[in-house]
Structure 1
């Protein structure tokens, strides 16, 4: 009985610190974020996540960071595939979208090329939506070339946003991540 209690206790603690979406994070499609990062008194799970990740996080009034590790069909993002990020972003003064290596968060874009998409450097549709491509192969319009092999993550950072601030505030929608083809 003691062994079962220890396994369950340590297992849930490990989950809360490594993934923790059931405890302190929010999920919108394939995107997840920690709502209480940057507030003066975050919940214990958010505090543990910040301590474990060791990252310098944005303050609550500065913005929020969403991370996607899977596409909209819940398949792990793979550098051998071409992805279309399609839709709109919540209201924000500025945003960036960066493909990074899992674990260390290093950008995986080609050397001497653009490292990210940002709200000021892309073409939009007439309704304000975006269609972005992340792949190793040439793609139309807004394209970011990635390098290497294996899995990757997408990091969407919204700066100076009113999304998720205040009582009852919520993000209406985030772009979908569609796998189009794999090599």
Structure 2
């Protein structure tokens, strides 16, 4: 009887710890295959059969569609260039270039993955064909709650958020390292 009780206790502990660790990995993300470029990170294998199973489960839980290996790649940033967490009530300046792509989109999302939509009726994202560029093809985008002239992405409300830069039909989707990739810098512009 004592042996049976010991076996049941050990099994309960193993199932409890195993379930808790799997839930933690799904909720907090593991990104075993992550590629980092400054504050930006991407999982180039997320839309392929080689994807990390915990990342697959996280995307299924959040109901996120992934881009296939040849379709594009999605970079996300939770911090600015100084390493501080992005906050919706603060102002930031994105400047620079993106890797060659047919189209890119830039959007802001809550930590739960919901798109942050402005109240003004504007879309909650910018696309590469709707932004103003310099002669050298670089751009500057103001990100924050206060409307700005030029390129502006609204982040209304308070709390942390994630910037998402999706590159479609790009050679960067085949990357296995960050060498040679140039992504926009995210500099704080007041809070």
Q: TM-score, normalised by structure 2?
A: 0.79
Deviation of the 1:166 alpha carbon = 6.3
Quote the residue 1:142 is aligned against: 151
RMSD: 2.7
Residues 76, 164 of structure 2: 8 Å contact kept? yes
Deviates more, 1:160-169 or 1:56-65: 160-169
Deviation of the 1:147 alpha carbon = 1.5
Deviation of the 1:84 alpha carbon = 0.4
Which one has the bigger strand percentage? 1
The question of 1:158 aligning with 2:175 is answered: no
The question of 1:127 aligning with 2:140 is answered: no
Quote the residue 1:62 is aligned against: 71
Structure 1 stretches of at least 4 aligned residues deviating more than 3 Å after TM superposition: 8-17, 43-54, 166-171
Cα distance change, pair 20–137 in 1 and its aligned pair in 2 (3 A): same
- Largest Rg, 1 or 2: 2
Aligned length: 178
1:19 to 15, 18, 29: 29
Quote the residue 1:117 is aligned against: 126
Quote the residue 2:101 is aligned against: 92
Cα distance change, pair 19–166 in 1 and its aligned pair in 2 (3 A): closer
Q: Mark the runs of 5 or more structure 2 residues left unpaired by the alignment.
A: 1-9
Which one has the bigger helix percentage? 2
